[in-house]
Structure 1
Amino acid sequence: MHHPLINENHSKLRLQVREFAEKEIKPIAQKLDDNSEFSSEITKKMGQLGLFGITIPKEYGGKNLDTLSYIIAVEELARVDSSQAATIAAHNSLGIAPIYKYGSKEQKQRLLPKLTTGDHLWAFGLTEPNAGSDAKAIETTALLKGDKWNINGHKVFITNSASDLSAGITLLSNTSDNPNEKEFSAILVEREVSNYKTEPIVNKMVWRAADTGRLTFENTVAPKENLLGERGKGMHMMLETLDSGRLSIAAIGLGLAQGAFEMAKEHANNRVQFGKSISQFQTISNKLADMDIKLELARNYLYYSCWLKDNNLPFGKQAAISKLYTSEIAKEIADEAVQIFGAYGLFRDNDIERFYRDQRILGIGEGTSEILKLVISRHI
């Protein structure tokens, strides 16, 4: 791939992750999806590849690569299976990134080395049953009693929160002592020291091989020193974290769209009707051309957004645009791919059916398309 922002190291990483995804993930992706099965084995193998903590400095066990390298890795995983890409994206962008950015030296030294191996996962605790797009509607409370936080509340739709590899969660809570006021703070809640209930969510339409959990906190206790950053600054930290998270969701959309396009192109070249491959009919060739145009534009803008972040320039607007646009083109390309497959694209034993389902979350998670337009409008 020739691109002004892609260097030799980026290309090597792309090839490495693509070969891994084709060899290790693709043969079992459909089975994992059919069984709604999160694979600890695949997760640990991705850890051995260095995909957890990919942007974290080496002193904490990471690889210290740039944002674009990380996004390329997520893109290549999603080209084969969005569930595995989601595991990587949620852990890196939402799980450990805020620990590295806002954590104390002690917190980083204690947590990050074990969270860069693939043996342990960390979650991002924002969404609640009554707080989705309206993040300030959260009802979870954390009251400081002596040297402990006493936590009560619920979180839902939390990726990487309920498997045997889940090590904990960064929890957005109301820490105000006044029941009529809200003070949003983020607290690191470690599973091995704090008692909270986890329940895997199954029978999902999307990301069926990713771990999604429903969490309940009933007088859950966390040490006072597990406050992340400053008290009362939790909402700001969480929303800033979502800016970076949107880049990784955009990468999932881009990778999914690329995979769907490649499947559609292969089928169009091999499917013979009226004495020739259907790719030779202008209607089909135009569909493929439209797909390719959308992919080129989405990739260019996403990589540009990564460049902004890597150069410490404002990127929130661009991240929102990338996430919004790639989620839309993923939907369009997956839909057209199914159309090219015809009836063969409607069955569970065809990968394109899984891709068609998996794209649906992209316009919902980490900011709905409607909310993202509001975010973008505030930058205009």
Structure 2
Amino acid sequence: METVEKDILRGGQFLVKETSCDDIFTPEDFTEEQKMMLETVREFVDREIWPNKERFEKKDYALTEEIMRKAGELGLLGVAVPEEYDGLDMGFVSTMLVCDYISGATGSIATAFGAHTGIGTMPITLYGTEEQKKKYVPALATGEKFGAYCLTEPGAGSDANSGKTKAVLSEDGKHYLISGQKMWISNAGFAETFIVFARIEDDKNITGFIVEYDKDNPNGMTFGEEEHKLGIHSSSTRQVFFNDTKVPVENMLSERGGGFKIAMNALNVGRIKLAAACLDAQRRVTTEAVKYANERVQFKTPIVKFGAIKSKLAEMATSAYAGESACYRAAKNIEDRIAIRVASGNTHQEAELKGVEEYAIECSILKVAVSEDIQNCSDEGIQVFGGMGFSADTPMESAWRDARISRIYEGTNEINRMLAVGMLVKKAMKGHVDLLGPAMKVADELMGIPSFDTPDYSELFSEEKEMIAKLKKVFLMVAGSAVQKFGPDLEKHQQLLLAASNILIEIYMAESTILRTEKNAKRFGEEAQSHQIAMAKLYLYNAVDIITKNAKEGIVSFAEGDEQRMMLMGLKRFTKYTNMPNVVALRTQIADKLSEENGYCF
């Protein structure tokens, strides 16, 4: 695994430390091996998945299983699996890349792939004993068998540790007998290896088990009918019932009571992978919208020439570009952190677990941002198609329905928003991220006299990078004051947490977009990156608006009188442009390029 010598920020530190564009990874940095893998996946999708979209909408579960087997034969299910268990062991960026490009054509395959490779296989590779890994992982890595993950119950969704499923030790001490009900289980219709969470006696925390299913010997396992869902129609989703299902004691995953930890860490990886799984969907939706807008003529003019359509297409492409920028920035941070841990003597398991856990804040940020971007993108895609977009004969309708589940998977976006801020505050308490020092500096700055000097903005992005620094002050001002006011009770103020999280999310996404573009402008030239520069400026402009709205809402929720006035004045100062960008011109520039290339081209 290759890592570069650079100062790698710890998770959450992006908020209080400046990042150099030279220190981030971008999709333009893909190795030759990664580019070959990308083309392999794209070719596979264009051959096997995209032409069959209609079949996926008609609940063709057999087709999903067939495609998954073919993906296994190509090695795509084992990209993240170590070589000794028949995987490709390709590193975190490559696993993100495969997840990204295999997921764009239909949410049914995106879900089946994510459930199998992520929460179906990964808990065994990261928590299993050597015997468990040798027994189960090779068949999962090659697609000989498929995995599923049984956590959610009728009364235990977001509160995952409150499950009622029981595991009782048999009298001879050789088996656990599992009884209970799980719901929303992806791949349940064709999986043979289930990760099941159950509670032993009155343990505080649940425990994980590897449970085998054989249709000729069901061992107390029965399945509900396929669920009727808004989207992801060919993703097999069933309830699973356990009635004294015998599981050998050696199939306990990790230690007793360790299930909640497994579930939470699996979700961290699942969140950043889910963000990746929304990226190619955005590219494809944008491309289809551009093609239609180029072909559709109204009032003797292709609709792509109309400003209202240009605005939509530009915003769709910009959100896709921003999502790519942030996802691959975080993925390489994780990969580098894993490599550092391996070099210092950690096992593969320890290194990967700690590497991902380090960037849990970024994983939550990405999950929220990109899942909402694909929903907005597909919604605007329908609008570009007009009445045809509402028809199931066009790809927009299914894209919109498939996108909707992304805001619920891997912890709802509301929970992830609150988690991102909560985890940041906890890191600050542990001394991993110095929030207090910078927050106090911002408080002092609010009391001081602002500078009236005219800054020098002669370099590319000099004003935009200054704006990012000021937006970070907005977060520190709002969150710092809120922590001071409420202390440990802050978690009870959910609407304030949501507002603070929206600020945090926009800072990370906007900064990632600017850093990617700055890096590429330095090596390819500003002219070659002119449209990406326009997208970075457009994204930041939108982010400033979102941050201003959320900061106001946060401030007036807990501050009054002089304190409120001072903070609102500070907000105005921290969100003020010296040179306001012409966003209409930016959108027009981006849309004209899309029209010229007849699709997403960045």
TM-score normalised according to structure 1 size = 0.95
1:345 correspondence with 2:392: no
1:9 correspondence with 2:33: yes
The answer as to whether partners of 2:378 and 2:399 remain within 8 angstroms in 1 is: yes
- Tell me the equivalent position of 2:263: 238
Cα shift readout 1:304-334 (whole Å, capped 9, x = no counterpart): 2211221234111111111100111011100
1:43 correspondence with 2:68: yes
Q: Secondary structure at the match of 1:221?
A: strand
The answer as to whether partners of 2:279 and 2:320 remain within 8 angstroms in 1 is: yes
**Alignment RMSD (CA, Å):** 1.5
How far has the Cα of 1:136 moved from its partner? Answer: 1.7
How far has the Cα of 1:106 moved from its partner? Answer: 0.5
- Tell me the equivalent position of 1:295: 320
The answer as to whether partners of 2:27 and 2:324 remain within 8 angstroms in 1 is: no
- 2:333 and 2:222 map into 1 onto residues whose CA distance is 40
In terms of mean alpha carbon deviation, does 181-190 or 335-344 score higher?
181-190
The answer as to whether partners of 1:157 and 1:214 remain within 8 angstroms in 2 is: yes
How far has the Cα of 1:12 moved from its partner? Answer: 1.3
In terms of mean alpha carbon deviation, does 63-72 or 261-270 score higher?
63-72
Q: Secondary structure at the match of 2:317?
A: helix
How far has the Cα of 1:233 moved from its partner? Answer: 1.1
How far has the Cα of 1:149 moved from its partner? Answer: 0.3
Q: Secondary structure at the match of 1:116?
A: helix
- 1:100 and 1:79 map into 2 onto residues whose CA distance is 26
How far has the Cα of 1:5 moved from its partner? Answer: 3.9
Partner of residue 19 from structure 1, selected from 36, 43, 53: 43
1:273 correspondence with 2:298: yes
1:97 correspondence with 2:122: yes
- Tell me the equivalent position of 2:409: 365
Partner of residue 119 from structure 1, selected from 137, 144, 150: 144
- 1:14 and 1:366 map into 2 onto residues whose CA distance is 25
In terms of mean alpha carbon deviation, does 2-11 or 338-347 score higher?
2-11
Cα shift readout 1:329-377 (whole Å, capped 9, x = no counterpart): 0111000000000011111121111001000000001110100011101
- Tell me the equivalent position of 1:186: 208
TM-score normalised according to structure 2 size = 0.61
Cα 1:248–1:335 shift into 2, 3 Å = same
The answer as to whether partners of 1:38 and 1:211 remain within 8 angstroms in 2 is: no
Amino acid at match of 2:254: G
- Tell me the equivalent position of 2:236: 211
Amino acid at match of 1:20: F
In terms of mean alpha carbon deviation, does 146-155 or 31-40 score higher?
31-40
Amino acid at match of 1:150: L
How far has the Cα of 1:200 moved from its partner? Answer: 4.2
- 1:38 and 1:332 map into 2 onto residues whose CA distance is 31
- 1:258 and 1:323 map into 2 onto residues whose CA distance is 17
Amino acid at match of 1:162: G
Cα shift readout 1:137-188 (whole Å, capped 9, x = no counterpart): 101010112111011101110111222xx11211111012x4xx53411011
- 1:95 and 1:6 map into 2 onto residues whose CA distance is 27
1:155 correspondence with 2:177: no
- Tell me the equivalent position of 2:368: 324
Q: Which has the higher helix share?
A: 2
- 1:90 and 1:241 map into 2 onto residues whose CA distance is 11
How far has the Cα of 1:48 moved from its partner? Answer: 1.2
- Tell me the equivalent position of 1:334: 378
- 2:29 and 2:236 map into 1 onto residues whose CA distance is 33
Q: Which has the higher strand share?
A: 1
For the pair shown, which has the larger CA radius of gyration, 1 or 2? Answer: 2
In terms of mean alpha carbon deviation, does 283-292 or 324-333 score higher?
283-292
How far has the Cα of 1:203 moved from its partner? Answer: 2.1
Amino acid at match of 1:330: I
- 1:8 and 1:374 map into 2 onto residues whose CA distance is 39
Identity of aligned residues (%): 30
- 1:226 and 1:118 map into 2 onto residues whose CA distance is 21
Cα shift readout 1:61-104 (whole Å, capped 9, x = no counterpart): 11111122122222212221121121111111111111011101
Q: Secondary structure at the match of 2:56?
A: helix
Q: Secondary structure at the match of 1:150?
A: strand
- 2:413 and 2:246 map into 1 onto residues whose CA distance is 36
Amino acid at match of 1:236: K
- 2:298 and 2:40 map into 1 onto residues whose CA distance is 37
- 2:31 and 2:165 map into 1 onto residues whose CA distance is 45
- Tell me the equivalent position of 2:444: none
Cα 1:23–1:4 shift into 2, 3 Å = closer
The answer as to whether partners of 1:201 and 1:212 remain within 8 angstroms in 2 is: yes
- 1:213 and 1:62 map into 2 onto residues whose CA distance is 28
Q: Secondary structure at the match of 2:78?
A: coil
Cα shift readout 1:166-219 (whole Å, capped 9, x = no counterpart): 11211111012x4xx534110111113743112342321111111112100011
- 2:224 and 2:75 map into 1 onto residues whose CA distance is 28
- 2:186 and 2:43 map into 1 onto residues whose CA distance is 25
Amino acid at match of 1:108: K
How far has the Cα of 1:59 moved from its partner? Answer: 1.2
Q: Secondary structure at the match of 1:207?
A: coil
The answer as to whether partners of 1:32 and 1:38 remain within 8 angstroms in 2 is: no
- 2:138 and 2:396 map into 1 onto residues whose CA distance is 37
Q: Secondary structure at the match of 1:52?
A: helix
Tell me the matched-pair count. Answer: 374
Structure with higher RCO (Cα < 8 A, 6+ apart): 1
Cα 1:38–1:182 shift into 2, 3 Å = farther
1:32 correspondence with 2:56: yes
- 1:198 and 1:120 map into 2 onto residues whose CA distance is 18
Task: List gaps (5 residues or longer) in structure 1.
Answer: none
- Tell me the equivalent position of 2:461: none
Q: Secondary structure at the match of 2:405?
A: helix
The answer as to whether partners of 1:302 and 1:322 remain within 8 angstroms in 2 is: yes
Q: Any residues of structure 2 matched to 1:254-273 within 5 Å, and which? A: 254-273=279-298
The answer as to whether partners of 1:331 and 1:356 remain within 8 angstroms in 2 is: yes
Amino acid at match of 1:29: K
